[in-house]
Amino acid sequence: MTRTRQNRQDVIAASEPAPVPPERPSLSGLDFFEVAQQISDEYVWHWDMTRGTLHWSPQIAALLGITKSISVLSGDPFQTFLHPDDLVRATSAINAHIKKGTPYRLEERLVTKAGTYSWFLVRGKAARNKEGKPLSMTGYLTDISRLKQEAVEREKELVQTRDLAKDMTVLNELSKTLTTRLTVDEVVWETYKQASRLIDTRNFMMSLYNPELKEHEFVLNLTESEVDKELLKRQPANLGISGYIIHNRVPVLIRDNADKWATSHGIQPLGEMAYSWLGVPLLLGDHVLGIIIVQNYHQEGVYDEHDRDLLMTIASSAAVALQNARLFSEKQEAEAESIQRANRIKALLAPMQESMKSIHRLSTLEESSKQHSALPEIAIHADAIAHNVQDILRIMEGE
């Protein structure tokens, strides 16, 4: 490049205005929070510990409903909004950070402008002088209410899954165990035992229904009520809430005031009314074999729909086991009766055999006079045989 051209470019450059550098935002006051907020989804706060003043971003002010300055000399920066149950824990966390340099990271509940508490993650770090004395703290406030709620829901689902697994384990054990219980008493007690693992059975009753007599008998009555101990033994099947269950073949769940529920359904209450009441039918197809009742005389809301469904499942297994126990009992009775009948027949056949031997012996006498004299004895033996044959026929006919 020639010197002339270079001089011309220098003149042009000198005649153009110099570029103005971009204006730098102020880092004082709320401008600092505006800048920080632009690069973060979290809410920024700053605590001047030497003056005891707390500064916050407009987002925090809007969220918490802050309309005036707040002075904080010690303790948690947001103690004015802090849930009382979190105060000790929050104060301990801030003291540990100031005195020991422990990272300040805390989940706490703050009351919002709406008047309700929400969960926030509060983080901050202190700026110190050369001697290590804290001068200020700057940090973030993050709304974690949704995450907390999701955690609660996950925990709830986990608990429900665990409870369901426990329920299924007990129900499977009950189903298997009941197949080995061969008497009604064994079935009843096993049903009570397994039900006690799942629901409140401090007052547990189980009755068996007799459709011919139209009554049901309480074969198990474990109750705290002296009234029910005496009254609930054998009842007509059309009385009380139990009669309602037998007639309609439906479960009844009463969360509170069983007396009021019975009256509202036109039922005359029986016995001492409980605060919480749950009863289910023992159903085998469309046939009612009896009912199971659990109740609480002291507390409302003890049982819910989950308990009702559990008890219905238990009752279903118990109904099958009861029917099997009855069939097994009938089979045993039939076998015992058959054995007894066979023994009676054997008892009748034994003298018959002796009589036949005697007749044979008398009929083979060589001398006719002796034969003639044996006829009355032969007739006696023959008559005995005839009577025994008649008895055997009656036994065979089941008389």
Model confidence pLDDT, tens digit, residues 151-181? 888 877 777 777 777 777 777 777 777 777 7
Question: Is the confidence at residue 119, as pLDDT, over 50?
Answer: yes
Report pLDDT digits (tens) over 369-385.
Answer: 455 566 666 667 666 77
Last residue of a domain, one of 276, 308, 329: 329
Report pLDDT digits (tens) over 306-325.
Answer: 899 989 988 988 888 888 88
Neighbours of 169 (CB within 10 A): 11
Beta bridge partners of 252: 279
Range of the domain at 128: 30-149
As a whole number of angstroms, the distance between CA 227 and CA 270 comes to 10
51 and 90 assigned to the same domain: yes
Q: Is residue 94 part of a domain?
A: yes
Q: Is residue 204 part of a domain?
A: yes
Tell me which residue of 234, 212, 211 sits closest to 221, measured CA to CA: 234
Q: Give residue 77's pLDDT.
A: 86
172 and 307 assigned to the same domain: yes
pTM listed for this prediction? 0.52
Q: Is residue 335 part of a domain?
A: no
Q: What is the DSSP string of 69-83?
A: -EE--SS-TTGGGB-
Q: Is residue 14 part of a domain?
A: no
Q: Residue 341's Cα: distance from chain center in Å?
A: 52
Residues contacting residue 303 through CB under 8 Å, at least 6 positions apart: 199, 200, 253, 255, 276, 277, 278, 294, 296
231 and 360 assigned to the same domain: no
Tell me which residue of 381, 299, 393, 284 sits closest to 345, measured CA to CA: 393
216 and 140 assigned to the same domain: no
Question: Is the confidence at residue 4, as pLDDT, over 50?
Answer: no
314 and 217 assigned to the same domain: yes
As a whole number of angstroms, the distance between CA 174 and CA 193 comes to 9
Last residue of a domain, one of 149, 177, 200: 149
Q: Give residue 109's pLDDT.
A: 93
Q: Give residue 16's pLDDT.
A: 42
As a whole number of angstroms, the distance between CA 112 and CA 80 comes to 11
Which two tokens mark 262?
A: 């019975």
Task: Give long-range contacts, CB 8 A cutoff, 24+ apart: 103-109.
Answer: 104/137, 104/139, 107/144, 107/148, 108/76, 108/78, 108/82, 108/83, 109/82, 109/83, 109/85
311 and 184 assigned to the same domain: yes
| Domains: count for the chain | 3
Last residue of a domain, one of 272, 306, 329: 329
194 and 93 assigned to the same domain: no
